[in-house]
């Protein structure tokens, strides 16, 4: 066995553990979940689980890091590929709605368990969130500067409204409904972009 193979297998096991934790946290809530529950969810003994993760809190932090790192990377890619600032804003809104609908278990944890993070662990996560929000804010500002549009409200308020609507979709989106996550994202974007195109 090469070190690369060992590392790859260990990472695969960590991802399985994280997926199991997401499932259990989402169903039972973080506080009501024990490491025994996570171990059972992934089919490992508790001592083996502790070989890969030190605490339940570490798993919660990893959930936040995964969501925010994926969101930030995706947002930067969308902005870099957009033909215009307005296209960038549309792409960001559509993607945020779609991601939220496609990862409802993850988003449920992120929005409902934040109080479980102690301040020293919460601050780096908040920095990631602010970085993501800054990408959206800058795209809106670029559009306003490009078109001379008067938004009629602070840009931060507009961005928070857009993201709030997108993020809340984890509560009410139904996979068996008439729209796919991306189609829903397009509809939400149509409504929100109307403010930018007055």
pLDDT value, residue 117: 85
Cβ atoms of 67 and 61 within 8 Å: the answer is no
**What's the whole-number average pLDDT of the chain?**
90
Query: pLDDT tens digits for 22-81?
Result: 989 989 888 998 999 999 988 988 889 888 988 899 999 988 998 999 999 999 999 999
CA separation for the pair 168, 144 (Å, rounded): 26
Is the pLDDT confidence value at 6 over 70? no
CA distances from 33 to 30, 46, 109, 151, 171 (A): 5, 14, 12, 45, 21
Question: Residue 107: which residues within 8 A CB-CB, separation 6 or more?
Answer: 67, 100, 167, 170
- By residue count, the chain amounts to 198
pLDDT value, residue 1: 34
Please choose, from the candidates 126, 133, 125, the residue with its C-alpha nearest in 3D space to the C-alpha of residue 158.
Answer: 133
The pTM (predicted TM-score) of the whole model is: 0.86
Please choose, from the candidates 100, 153, 163, the residue with its C-alpha nearest in 3D space to the C-alpha of residue 130.
Answer: 163
Reported confidence tier of residue 175, pLDDT bands at 50, 70, 90:
very high
Give the domains, in start order, of the chain with CATH numbers.
1-54 (1.10.10.60), 56-197 (1.10.357.10)
* Degrees to nearest 5, angle at CA 149 with 191 and 73: 60
Please spell the DSSP secondary structure of 40-51, one letter per residue: HHHT--HHHHHH
pLDDT value, residue 7: 60
CA separation for the pair 50, 29 (Å, rounded): 20
pLDDT value, residue 156: 96
Helix ranges restricted to H, the chain: 3-28, 35-42, 46-52, 56-81, 85-102, 104-112, 119-147, 155-172, 181-193
Query: pLDDT tens digits for 107-134?
Result: 888 888 888 888 888 888 999 999 999 9
């Amino acid at each position: 066995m090469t070190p690369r193979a060992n590392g790859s297998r260990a990472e695969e096991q960590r991802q399985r553990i994280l997926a199991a934790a997401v499932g259990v946290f989402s169903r039972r809530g973080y506080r009501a979940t024990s490491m025994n529950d996570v171990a059972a969810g992934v089919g490992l003994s508790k001592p083996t689980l502790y070989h890969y993760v030190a605490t339940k809190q570490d798993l919660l932090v990893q959930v936040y890091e995964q969501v925010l790192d994926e969101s930030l990377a995706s947002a930067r890619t969308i902005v870099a590929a957009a033909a215009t600032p307005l296209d960038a804003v549309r792409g960001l809104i559509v993607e945020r709605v779609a991601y939220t609908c496609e990862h409802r278990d993850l988003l449920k944890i992120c929005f409902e368990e934040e109080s479980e993070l102690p301040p020293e662990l919460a601050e780096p996560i908040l920095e990631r969130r602010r970085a993501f929000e800054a990408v959206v804010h800058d795209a809106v500002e670029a559009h306003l500067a490009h078109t001379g549009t008067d938004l009629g409200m602070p840009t931060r308020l507009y961005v928070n409204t857009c993201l709030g609507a997108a993020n809340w979709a984890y509560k009410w989106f139904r996979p068996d409904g008439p729209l796919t996550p991306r189609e829903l994202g397009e509809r939400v974007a149509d409504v929100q972009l109307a403010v930018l195109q007055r």
